[in-house]
């Protein structure tokens, strides 16, 4: 089974909630991400966490050392728009889902997308923190 990680899962590696941080770190070791996820991480680290560019770039390098990243392409964009319309996802979430579909993943781990949703009979969204 191959799986994809949403931005929020990776950001939990930085939290003081040790259970979530441990689960996120475990998933990071074998998950796939997209360039969209990297962009969202950079934005969150700079705006929300007020981290320096050096800290932001260091964390992005760490993530990329574990997780291969799917590129953003016109195919991703086009498929993402279809996913957004069909399933009611935000454009940004749909781009992540489209990348997961293109990478042929079975699962997209996300805390804030629709847990249990199955996209295009291929990709199941799962919240990895639910018991």
Residue 8 lies in a domain: yes
pLDDT, mean of residues 54-83: 97
DSSP string of 41-59?
HHHHHHHTS---HHHHHHH
Residue 39 lies in a domain: yes
Residue 98 lies in a domain: yes
The range of the structural domain enclosing residue 63 comes to 3-126
Residue 131 lies in a domain: no
**What local confidence, expressed as pLDDT, does residue 51 receive?**
95
pTM over 0.75: yes
pLDDT, mean of residues 68-95: 97
pLDDT, mean of residues 3-18: 95
Provide the number of structural domains found in the chain.
1
CATH code, domain with 61: 3.40.50.1010
Whole-number mean pLDDT of the chain?
96
pLDDT, mean of residues 111-120: 95
DSSP string of 88-112?
---HHHHHHHHHHHHTT-SEEE-SS
If you search the block for the tokens 């979530």, which residue do you land on?
20
Residue 55 lies in a domain: yes
Residue 7 lies in a domain: yes
């Amino acid at each position: 089974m191959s799986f994809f990680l949403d931005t929020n899962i990776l950001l939990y590696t930085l939290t003081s909630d040790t259970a979530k941080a441990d689960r996120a770190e475990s998933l990071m070791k074998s998950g796939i991400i997209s360039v969209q996820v990297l962009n969202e991480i950079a934005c969150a680290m700079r705006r929300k966490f007020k981290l320096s560019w050096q800290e932001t770039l260091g964390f992005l390098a760490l993530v990329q050392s574990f997780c291969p990243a799917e590129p953003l392409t016109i195919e991703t964009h086009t498929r993402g728009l279809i996913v957004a319309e069909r399933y009611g996802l935000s454009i940004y979430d749909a781009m992540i889902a489209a990348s997961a579909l293109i990478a042929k993943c079975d699962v997209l781990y996300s805390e804030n997308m629709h847990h249990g949703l199955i996209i295009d009979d291929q990709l199941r969204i799962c919240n990895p923190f639910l018991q």
